[in-house]
Structure 1
């Protein structure tokens, strides 16, 4: 059993490391093929690195976006090491290093300079890469680390800080390249967020109602697959056959939906299952560890 656990951990680590390098390739494509030719700024630390690169371009000491991306993240690596976890920090360093390295190594290719196309396609590629990384338990650094730290210590979201930071980046795009480019960068931020949400489904909550005649079997099987509590309502009755049933309620993430389906196939394939999308949670909900 211990040997199986070691093999599984090794498999997870290899998968996360591979995902970190895939993320690096995708963000470098977004940067070198779309954002740079289209004068579009990304969000967060990546956007800040782009801004500093633009401002130092004609100085005696021009700085590259690839180098700045890693350097600006270094204080956040220290914060993550002490406040979040060592394993989390190691994979974050790998992801940021991979993106910095690939941005530097990948030869820029100007497919188009149309700012709308560059904003949309650059953001879509980056959003897919970021969502993929988050889905596999990897942070891409930057403001993500601040968000996790603040949520861990206070339970509050970093949404306001994200908005302020990205507003600063968009405003800078307008000052440097002209105000239409501020709107193009803002469009890119929206596309990036939408694509990221489509890929990273762990944060989307769903309410599940199960009507079954085999409550014990269903509860045992569901809780073996998913680590969430279940509320039981006894004494329900079907209006058609007047068979006594039990109603079960739980909340899962969209990421866990395949596990729920598998649990229902194993325990009671004939159960009635109703799923409500995008519910809001008040109170404790078991989040996966980072």
Structure 2
């Protein structure tokens, strides 16, 4: 392995650890600055950990703290991720969850009473940004993210949609524990959190690209070399204005590939026509990028 590859790998590890730290800080701030003072439950495993703390405070002689239960509830999902997703992915997920649990303990809840709507909005935004950045860096924040990755591969649903589906039970728990007005604020928080995750983490979004060109060979070679994507080639097309012979290239890419494919087309045919549109679902032999 040459020095460049070693440096690239080291930079990749450092960026993932940094993303894990930023997520841990974000979830701790969201929990202790907004959700706890506003009596609002979070989404996913964090929300379930909050539910366990509320139940233990009311019915048990001891308290199952959110910070501890957040890590404990993730242990079965670490095992699932290890076998179903990838070893490196799971190791960085454990780091993110462990840091999050520590930050929840170190950052004490503030004693200021906020409007619950403000708590719902800002808590959802802060946690959504942290989770989205973690996913964007190739790591998970544990919990429903692990289930979301596995189910997304099978169903094509986005992370936010999967989170909203699983979090309905948390909304019901919030209604019984804090009252149904708080259930509404919890639902608002979960919805905002899911939308922010989808806005920040866009790798799961697929784009259909249509290229009309007079020089298809080099464009096809560039796309296949850079992105390893399949391309459908339609010959004998005709330009309506110039009446010259054209070739139409059709492919589906990740949104992250947009910059690369634009530069490939620009380099090989500056006069090519290219259109891009988002697709909701892809069937067939589309290669999903796997976390490592």
Is 1:40 matched up with 2:49? no
Deviates more, 1:209-218 or 1:106-115: 106-115
Alpha-carbon spacing, 1:111–1:209, altered in 2? closer, same or farther (3 Å)? farther
Q: Deviations over 1:21-41 (max 9, x none)?
A: 111111111111111111111
Please name the residue that 2:7 is paired with.
7
Please name the residue that 2:128 is paired with.
127
**Runs of at least 5 residues in structure 2 that lack an aligned partner in the other structure:** none
What is the 5 A alignment of 1:51-90?
51-58=51-58, 59-90=60-91
Q: Deviations over 1:72-116 (max 9, x none)?
A: 111221222233221111000011011111111123235552111
**How many Å apart are 1:147 and its aligned residue?**
3.7
Q: Deviations over 1:137-170 (max 9, x none)?
A: 1111112223444566xx3468898556412111
**Runs of at least 5 residues in structure 1 that lack an aligned partner in the other structure:** none
Deviates more, 1:63-72 or 1:53-62: 53-62
Q: Distance in 1 between matches of 2:222 and 2:23?
A: 35
Please name the residue that 2:208 is paired with.
207
Q: Distance in 1 between matches of 2:65 and 2:198?
A: 30
**How many Å apart are 1:231 and its aligned residue?**
0.6
Is 1:23 matched up with 2:51? no
When normalised by structure 1's length, the TM-score is: 0.92
Q: Is 2:171–2:187's contact at 8 Å kept on the other side of the alignment? A: yes
What is the 5 A alignment of 1:80-229?
80-110=81-111, 112-149=113-150, 155-156=154-155, 165-229=166-230
Alpha-carbon spacing, 1:163–1:234, altered in 2? closer, same or farther (3 Å)? same
When normalised by structure 2's length, the TM-score is: 0.92
Alpha-carbon spacing, 1:274–1:151, altered in 2? closer, same or farther (3 Å)? closer
**How many Å apart are 1:269 and its aligned residue?**
2.3
Q: Is 1:207–1:251's contact at 8 Å kept on the other side of the alignment? A: yes
**How many Å apart are 1:176 and its aligned residue?**
0.5
Count of aligned residue pairs for this structure pair: 288
